[in-house]
A and B are shown apart, each in its own frame.
Chain A
Amino acid sequence: MTATALSVEIHLPLQRFSLNCSFQAQREAVVLFGPSGAGKTSVLDCIAGFRRPASGSITLGKRTLFSGETGENVAVRQRRIGYLSQQPALFPHLSVRRNIEYGLLDLPPHERDARVNEILERFRISPLAASRPAAISGGEQQRVALARTLVCEPELLLLDEPLSALDLSLKSMLLEALFDWQRERRVPMLYVTHDQQEAYSLSRRVLVMEKGTVIADGEPQQVFSTPANPERAALSGYENIFHATIEESHPALGTMTCRIASTDLLLESPLAHKGHGESASLAVRAGDILVATTPPTGISARNIIPGRIDSIEDRAGMVELRVLCGATAFLVHITRGALQTLALQPNQSIWLIIKTHSIQFLRS
Chain B
Amino acid sequence: MIPPLLLSLKLALVTSTLLLVLGLPIAWWLAFTRFRLRFLVESVIALPIVLPPTVLGFYLLLQLGSNGWLGAFWQRFTGHTLAFSFEGLVLGSVIYSLPFAVQPFTTALASVDRRLLMASASLGASSWRTFWRITFPIALPGIITGFALSFAHTLGEFGVVLMLGGNIPGRTQTASIAIYDNVQMLDYATAARQSLTLLAISFALLILINAFNRSRNWRLQ
A residues engaging B (CB < 8 A)? 48-50, 75-83, 85, 87, 89, 91-93, 102-103, 105-106, 132, 134, 148-149, 152
Contact = CB atoms under 8 A, between A and B. Distances in A.
Contacts of B121: 49, 75-77
Contacts of B51: none
Contact of B115 (A75, A82, A85): A85
B120 A82 contact: no
A92 B220 contact: yes
Interface string B201-221: 000000000000000000111
A89 B118 contact: yes
B107 to A, nearest CB: 18
Nearest to B117: A89
Contacts of A77: 121-126
B55 interface: no
A132 B113 contact: no
A93 B124 CA distance: 19
B127 to A, nearest CB: 8
B129 to A, nearest CB: 7
Contact of A91 (B116, B126, B129, B221): B116
Contacts of A132: 219-220
- Specify which of A50, A80, A81, A93 lies most central, judged by the most chain B CB atoms within 10 Å of its CB: A93
B137 interface: yes
A102 B120 contact: yes
B123 A103 contact: yes
B110 interface: no
Given A132-B219, A134-B221, A89 B119 contact: yes
Contacts of A152: 123-124
Interface residues of B, number: 20
Nearest to A101: B123
Given A80-B124, A89-B118, A92-B116, 16 more contacts: A48-B122, A75-B121, A76-B121, A76-B122, A77-B121, A77-B124, A77-B126, A81-B122, A82-B122, A91-B119, A91-B134, A93-B220, A103-B123, A106-B124, A134-B221, A149-B122
A83 B119 CA distance: 8
Q: Is the interface of A mostly helix, strand, loop or mixed?
A: loop
Nearest to B121: A76
Contacts of B113: 89
Nearest to A78: B124
B45 interface: no
B70 interface: no
B201 to A, nearest CB: 30
B138 interface: yes
B81 to A, nearest CB: 47
Contacts of A102: 120, 123, 125, 133
Contacts of B116: 89, 91-92
B204 to A, nearest CB: 27
A341 B29 CA distance: 66
Contacts of B137: 93
Interface in B133-152: 133-134, 137-138
A91 B121 CA distance: 13
B122 A105 contact: no
Contact of A105 (B115, B119, B129, B219): B129
A75 B206 CA distance: 42
B136 to A, nearest CB: 10
Contact of B118 (A50, A105, A134, A148): A50
Closest 8 CB pairs of A and B: A103-B123, A76-B121, A89-B115, A89-B119, A83-B122, A77-B124, A93-B137, A77-B121
